[in-house]
Amino acid sequence: MIVRFSLRTLASRAVILLVLCFLGQPTNAQERVTFSTDVTFYGDNTEFFNPFRDGETLFGAAATMAVNMDLNEKVSVHAGIFANHRFGSENFAEQWRPVIRIELHSDHQRLIFGTLDTVERQYGSGPDRTGPHGLLPPIQKETIAFSRPYEAGLQWKLNTPRLSQDFWLNWQRLNTAKQRERFDAGINGRLPLSAAVPMAIAYQFHVVHEGGQLFDSGPVRDSWAAGPGFIVEPRVQFFDRVMLESYALFAGDVPDRAHPDDSQHGHGIFTRFSGEKNGWRGHLIIWGACDWIKTEGDENYGALRQDGTNFRATRHYGEIGLTKIFHPAAGVELEGSARIHRIEKDYNYSYRILTRVDVDFIVWTP
């Protein structure tokens, strides 16, 4: 099965629908100008010695400084600069980009056109949820939040009593004579079922596409993963929060649309237990999969060795971790975590320190 995506049709219909949702009623003027700083300090060390993924140290800071102009109660414009600096580098920044976005918002939803919001963790804390949009690690590796923290395109975030969802389209690369264009798009959502015993149907989808019609500079590629899940949060007396999540996931990898016989499809079961108490969080992940290949996914979950050969059809992975959250000052969050990973017969470990500083200053009000 080959899945084809029409970016023009998807984007145009989504923009028209969302703009109509936000601009259905007139609003009164409510102008305000705010200067915001959002800095993430990250120190991530993975001691991996296995056939699938090498250990790596990511140590640096990603900062956004922007002026936010509220044109009225539903429309705001943001302009500024983003920089990601790796400590020890001779460069001022490994990546720097303009922050340019217009945001349409109401009480329960936000439509962003331009620089995306990849900092807010809508579904909780923990190193296994640190990815740019909180996707499961086999779908998108968490450390992308540090190696590629800047994203731009289109985003629609919902947070209502009946539905919470993050939809985005991130344009990564232009189509030139030397390279194909590249973008990724996805959905991460939850649909609550019960208030007495909190339960929800969850769903995730993510695709990485390389293509473009202007220049024929390499194969047209697709890599996608999707699946439904079930979440239950039983009330356990000792804990502040207990959560059990289980997902049935499916993936497809098409390295070249011109050669469909080279495509590969896989499936897996992802289960996660977590408990929280007084700022502490412990979690356990159990993963079993067959022929799982996903671009941008955590290689520890995949079927490919580092040299590109198949390990075997069936893969197993397990992880146990402990996290502590601190709030030493207003607008400051400090997270420390440590994990033990079981990758087939190998036992590896990792640890992380993550600090976020989010401070706003009102520059002008009417």
pLDDT in tens, 151-206: 999 999 999 988 999 999 999 999 999 999 999 999 999 999 977 779 999 999 99
pLDDT at 163: 93
The continuous run of DSSP H or E covering 147 comes out as: helix 144-147
* Whether the Cβ atoms of residue 112 and residue 18 lie closer than 8 Å to each other: no
| Residue 208 reports pLDDT greater than 90 | yes
Ordered by where they begin, the domains of the chain are 34-364 (2.40.160)
Residues 2 and 257: their CA atoms lie apart, in Å, by 8
Q: How many residues does the chain have?
A: 366
Tokens 């070249």 sit on residue? 256
Angstrom distance (rounded) from CA 308 to CA 293: 11
Give the pair of three-digit tokens for residue 313.
Answer: 């059809």
Rg from Cα positions in the chain: 21
* For residue 2, pLDDT beyond 70: no
Q: Which of 24, 55, 100, 109 is nearest to 351 (CA)?
A: 55
Average pLDDT, the chain: 91
Cβ contact 235:278 at 8 Å: no
In whole angstroms, how far apart are CA 256 and each of 83, 177, 186?
34, 18, 21
Least confident among 69-73, 225-229, 249-253: 69-73
Two tokens, residue 286: 């159990």
Q: pLDDT band at residue 252, thresholds of 50, 70 and 90?
A: very high
How many whole angstroms separate alpha carbon 245 and alpha carbon 256? Answer: 34
C-alpha–C-alpha distance, residues 313 and 311, integer Å = 7
Task: Tell me the two tokens of residue 129.
Answer: 């949820």
Q: Is the pLDDT of residue 36 over 60?
A: yes
Cα(267)–Cα(363) distance, rounded to whole angstroms?
A: 52
Band of residue 30 on the pLDDT scale cut at 50, 70, 90: low
Q: What is the pLDDT of residue 10?
A: 45
- Rounded CA-CA distance 278/122 in Å is 19
Widest CA span in the chain: 65
Q: What is the DSSP letter of 310?
A: B
The closest alpha carbon to 173, from 145, 210, 142, belongs to: 210
Please list the residues that pair with 275 across neighbouring strands.
242, 282
Which of left, alpha, beta for 218 (phi over 0: left; psi -120 to 50: alpha)? left
326 SS3 class: strand
CA dist 270 and 204 (Å) reads 12
Asked whether 341 and 318 are in contact (CB, 8 A), the reply is yes
Q: What pTM was computed for the model? A: 0.89
User: Using one digit for the tens of pLDDT, what is the confidence trace for 296-349?
Assistant: 999 999 999 999 999 988 999 999 999 999 999 999 999 999 999 999 999 999
Q: Is pLDDT of 29 > 70?
A: no
Tokens of 331: 């607008």
Mean pLDDT score, 225-237:
95
- Span 346-356, mean pLDDT? 97
- Which is more confident, 124 or 140? 140
**Counting Cβ atoms within 10 Å, is residue 131 exposed (0-12), middle (13-18) or buried (19+)?**
buried
Residue 124: closest CA among 64, 46, 188, 59: 188
Report the distance separating Cα 155 and Cα 148, nearest Å: 17
Given a cut of 70, whether residue 4 has pLDDT beyond it is: no
Which residues, including other chains, have CB under 8 Å from residue 12's CB and lie 6 or more apart?
none
